[in-house]
Structure 1
Amino acid sequence: MEATSVVQLDQTKAKDECLNLSLRPLQVSDVDDFMVWASDEKVTRFCTWEPYTNKEDGLNYIKNTVVPHPWFRAICVDDRPVGAISVSANSGNDKCRGELGYVLASKYWGKGIVTRAVKMVVDTIFVEWPHLERLEALVDVENVGSQRVLEKAGFQREGVLRKYFILKGRSRDMVMFSLLSTDYQS
């Protein structure tokens, strides 16, 4: 009986955290929250970057990369950043598509937060960027949790791109996911 009530409590807490979910620009003043996930080896395992080891590097990243980025948001619970999500635009003949990326503090994994954040992005990005026809995401084949996020958010799994990407010194197989603006509208 007690184990059941703990599970129900955890599910209620997860739902409450999702209710207080918002996306907003990540600011320099958020560096301490940023360092929580950016310095965690579990979190950065599938990221293109190594864990941050000092606050100064984190500040420089926020100032030089995040602030000028055209669409980079903090994933917030009660307005406190617990992760980040971005859409990177392509240019030229590829400007019809953008790439989605996200990261979340390990403490918040498995609570539906990133799935909800991805859905929030989808609800706005095709309106904010009317030239965008395709939103895509590349996910390491071993990152099953991230694949599940995209499936729950309505993305289509297109296939595995073998030896597609070098990540931390190893060539990796990546799974391509996409969502078209017409998928979203229907």
Structure 2
Amino acid sequence: MSTGDLRLVPARPEHVDYWLVLRAEPGARRYVDTDEDTREQLLHRIAEASPLGDTRAKGYRWFVEYDGRLIGTVSARDVSRMHGRAQLGYMMSEAYHGRGLGTRAVGMMLERLFTGLPFLQRLWLVTLAENAGSQGVARKLGFTFEGTMRGHCVHLGQRRDQQTWGLLRSEWEARRSG
């Protein structure tokens, strides 16, 4: 486990070039079923990311900084106040895999979301069925494996299975206080 200075910084337009590089890394391409977004599309997504206090926000994004260097991104999207839920996403630079930094960063995001959004009752995420690293992050943070969606997405030209993982506020609170 790395013990350096890890921070979540709000997404800003100046992060877009780093985000493009991150998304192009072989490790990212191997497991993330993301569209081939242009620089302009990513800038638009950054502009749409809201501060936690925004009561109309549909999503939040932070970049992960470790010892003063950007190393990844974490996000919550498809925020539904009516249903009290949001979908999480995270991506860490391949050079920082296996050091516990992704788990720490997502844990920091959970803290911000659950303490900053009183309506939030459930967080969920999906991983490709073969993405053991991302599943490990989910498991370590208390997410429950909820099932496999067979043939749910096309990734690198092949139809792939995705796993769904969920975390309820009550489960997060119990882990936090226990």
Match of 2:2 among 15, 18, 22: 15
Q: Which AA in structure 1 matches 2:136?
A: R
Structure 1 partner of 2:67: 78
- Give 5+ residue unaligned stretches, structure 1: 1-13
Judge conservation of contact 1:160–1:173 (CA < 8 Å) in 2.
yes
Match of 1:145 among 112, 129, 133: 133
Structure 2 partner of 1:42: 27
Structure 1 partner of 2:57: none
Q: Deviations for 1:115-172, whole angstroms, at most 9, x for unmatched residues?
A: 0011111112112221111100111101011101111111111222222223344322
Judge conservation of contact 2:63–2:70 (CA < 8 Å) in 1.
yes
Q: Which AA in structure 2 matches 1:67?
A: A
Q: Write the mapping of 1:104-183 to structure 2, written as runs, cut at 5 A.
A: 104-183=92-171
Q: Deviations for 1:19-60, whole angstroms, at most 9, x for unmatched residues?
A: 3110011222233432331221321222233567xxxx33x2
CA gap 1:90/1:62 in 2 versus in 1, 3 angstroms = same
Aligned CA-pair RMSD: 2.0
Match of 1:61 among 38, 41, 62: 41
Q: Which AA in structure 2 matches 1:84?
A: T
Structure 2 partner of 1:5: none
Judge conservation of contact 2:5–2:66 (CA < 8 Å) in 1.
yes
Q: Which AA in structure 2 matches 1:158?
A: E
Q: Distance in 1 between matches of 2:151 and 2:44?
A: 31
Q: Deviations for 1:44-91, whole angstroms, at most 9, x for unmatched residues?
A: 222233567xxxx33x23421122123100011123221100011343
CA gap 1:125/1:144 in 2 versus in 1, 3 angstroms = same
Q: Distance in 1 between matches of 2:89 and 2:24?
A: 18
Identity of aligned residues (%): 28
Q: Which AA in structure 2 matches 1:162?
A: R
Higher helix share: 1
- Give 5+ residue unaligned stretches, structure 2: 51-59
Q: Which AA in structure 1 matches 2:18?
A: D
